Amino acid sequence: MLLAIGYIIVLGSILGGFMIAGGKPILLLHISEFVVIGGVSVGVLIVSSPSTVLKNVVKDIKESFGQSGASAEEFMDLLKMLYELFMLSRKGGLIALDEHMGDPHNSSIFNKYPSFLKHPERVEFLINALRPIVDGKIKPEQLQSLLIEEVECKEEEAGGSISVLSLIGDSLPGIGIVAAVLGIINTMAAIAEGPEKVGEKVAAALTGTFLGVLGAYGFINPLCKRIQFGHKSHLMYFNTMVKAVSGFAKGLAPVMAIEVARRSLDKAVQPTADNLEKILKNLKSS
């Protein structure tokens, strides 16, 4: 929603200022310039991106128009869920986690937290993090480095869509110049048709430059930055699981493992220590 509001402000400011200066918005509607700039931009995107990156670009753009990244409520749900899992493990042993990992969608614990369960990649990551220590296939001190490496792979994969969109943003002013040059070529070909026709074609050519610069600095580059912030939030979610699970695997009490994870969160989504303590005490008593 905020992305759409921002785009409306950008367009409103441009068109409003243009109209205040006496311009008519219809003068900017030169379809040929939109075709050149839009078509070349999409072509560059396709040429520079593998199919997996293209899918991520589409997904990231869709997410950017909604909630970008994990919310404070989602992080709170994660901390509560991890605490319940750790407490269960303390009471019944690590083997008690096996039934929840085997069928997470029918787990009495996971089903309490739909914000976690509706993201398959989060479920898969947590189960893969817990499985080695439940099965005894890895030493607790080795687990953290393994999980950090997995998060780093996710970070590198997430950066693909940002890099290709940044390429489009950097290319748009040049693509606008290409459209303008094509417009000037048309202008030179029509110079014998009189000043009115020449003026119309020059306006179309200048519109190409305008659209390229506006598209880069008013739309694509800000979109890249928003996607980047969303990726940072998602990666912080995975790192929270890394901190909590690796801490618990090393022998920390459940509440301390959760506290270590809490302290790793940004202030914008970090619950206070007192509030989290009260919530965890209520979970324990229930």
Q: What is the mean pLDDT of the chain?
A: 89
pLDDT digits (tens, 9 = 90+) for 233-278: 999 999 999 999 999 988 899 999 999 999 999 998 999 989 988 9
Into how many domains does the chain fold?
1
Q: Which domain holds residue 36?
A: 2-61+70-285
Query: Residue 63 to residues 45, 69, 70, 164, 228: CA-CA distances in angstroms?
Result: 19, 8, 11, 17, 12
The torsion angle over the Cα atoms of residues 101, 106, 108 and 114, rounded to 10 degrees, is: 90
- Provide the pLDDT confidence category of residue 191 given band limits of 50, 70 and 90: confident
pLDDT of residue 25: 84
| Residue listed under structure tokens 């990992």 | 101
pLDDT digits (tens, 9 = 90+) for 201-232: 888 888 889 999 999 999 999 999 999 998 99
pLDDT of residue 204: 83
How does DSSP classify residue 109?
T
C-alpha 56/C-alpha 53 separation (Å) is 5
Whether the CB-CB separation of 6 and 222 falls below 8 Å is answered with yes
pLDDT of residue 124: 94
C-alpha 212/C-alpha 178 separation (Å) is 9
Q: Can you tell me the mean pLDDT for 159-163? A: 91
Flag whether pLDDT at 75 surpasses 70. Answer: yes
pLDDT of residue 91: 87
C-alpha 106/C-alpha 110 separation (Å) is 8
pLDDT digits (tens, 9 = 90+) for 8-61: 999 999 989 989 988 888 878 888 889 999 999 999 999 998 999 999 999 998
CA proximity to 241, closest of 96, 75, 112, 87: 75
Task: Give residues with Cβ within 8 angstroms of 17, minimum separation 6.
Answer: none
Q: What is the 3-state secondary structure (H, E, C) of 114-131?
A: HHHHCCHHHHHHHHHHHH
pLDDT digits (tens, 9 = 90+) for 94-145: 888 888 888 888 889 999 999 999 999 999 999 999 988 888 778 877 888 8
pLDDT of residue 285: 67
